[in-house]
């Protein structure tokens, strides 16, 4: 259960909505709404921007494929009982 209100993408400033559109390309998926974590992080750009940069670094090409990294993220979410 979310502990913060998940805002609709339309509630964000234009610059953030553009970032949400770019994230569709980055994730290669057309979301109806941006991922919940993206919406929470984007509400506070001072916090969300560094998190976004860290995510891009973590998911950049490397020893593990993006699919393997996504699988690890899914397992961690399951262990933490995240409801997505």
State the total domains in the chain: 1
58 belongs to a structural domain: yes
4 belongs to a structural domain: no
High-pLDDT (> 90) share of the chain, %: 26
Q: How confident is the model at residue 2 (pLDDT cuts 50, 70, 90)?
A: low
Which residue intervals of the chain are DSSP H helices? 14-27, 36-42, 45-58, 66-79
- What does the pLDDT read at residue 1? 62
Q: Is the pTM above the cut of 0.85? A: no
Residues contacting residue 83 through CB under 8 Å, at least 6 positions apart: 1, 2
High-pLDDT (> 70) share of the chain, %: 95
63 belongs to a structural domain: yes
Biggest alpha carbon distance in the chain?
A: 38
Select the more confidently predicted residue: 55 or 62: 62
Is the pLDDT at 43 greater than 80? The verdict is: yes
From CA 36, how far away is CA 6, in angstroms rounded? 7
84 belongs to a structural domain: no
1 belongs to a structural domain: no
3 belongs to a structural domain: no
- What does the pLDDT read at residue 13? 92
Is the pLDDT at 48 greater than 90? The verdict is: no
Q: What is the domain range of residue 32?
A: 9-79
């Amino acid at each position: 259960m979310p502990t913060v209100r998940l805002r609709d993408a339309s509630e964000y400033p234009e610059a953030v909505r553009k970032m949400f559109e770019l994230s569709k390309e980055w994730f290669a998926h057309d979301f109806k709404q941006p991922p919940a974590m993206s919406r929470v992080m984007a509400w506070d750009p001072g916090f969300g921007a560094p998190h976004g940069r860290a995510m891009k670094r973590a998911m950049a090409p490397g020893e593990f494929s993006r699919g393997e990294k996504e699988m690890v993220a899914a397992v961690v979410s399951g262990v933490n009982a995240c409801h997505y």
